[in-house]
Amino acid sequence: MSDRRPQSLDTTAAAEDRQFAVWLAMTPAQKLAAWAELQAMAHALAEAGIRREHPHASDREVFLRRVARTLDRATMLRCYGWAADEGAAPATGRLPVWRLFGAGGAICGRTHRSGSDAGGR
C-alpha cells in the first residue's frame, strides 16, 4: 500500500492500488472489451432517458436523439439530414460507413477546412 492520496475522494488508496493492478494485468483486448461494455451501458442509459422523454419515438429517432447529444446541429444535418430541434420525423435510411468517415478522417465525406465547407464527396 502506498502513502499517496487517491484520485477519488470516495476511494481508499488501497482500493485504488488494487484497481490499478487489475488494469495493468489486462491485455489490450481485455481493456478494449471493458471499454466497449461501458460504452454500450452509456448508450443504453442515454437511450432509456430519451425514451422516457419521447415515449412514442421510433428506434431510429431514439438513435438520432442520442447522437445529437454529441454532434453539433450542422453535422447532424449533413450526416443524417435531421436535427432534434426541428421536430420532424427522422430520415429512415442509414448512411454507409464511408459517408460517415471518409478518406483522411473526414466526417460525413467532407473535408473540414477553416473558412470553407468545400471538399469531400
Q: What is the pLDDT along the chain (121 residues), one digit of tens a residue?
A: 557 788 888 889 999 999 999 999 999 999 999 999 999 999 999 999 999 999 999 999 999 999 998 898 899 999 999 887 655 445 444 444 434 444 444 555 444 443 444 444 3
Is 59 contained in some domain? yes
Question: DSSP character for 11?
Answer: S
Cα distances (angstroms) measured from residue 42 to each of 2, 21, 35, 37: 32, 25, 10, 9
Is 118 contained in some domain? no
How far is the C-alpha of 24 from the C-alpha of 18, rounded, in Å? Answer: 10
State how many domains the chain has: 1
Is 2 contained in some domain? no
Is 111 contained in some domain? no
Is 98 contained in some domain? no
Q: Grid coordinates in use for 5?
A: 492520496
Is 108 contained in some domain? no
Q: Which domain holds residue 19?
A: 13-93
Is 20 contained in some domain? yes
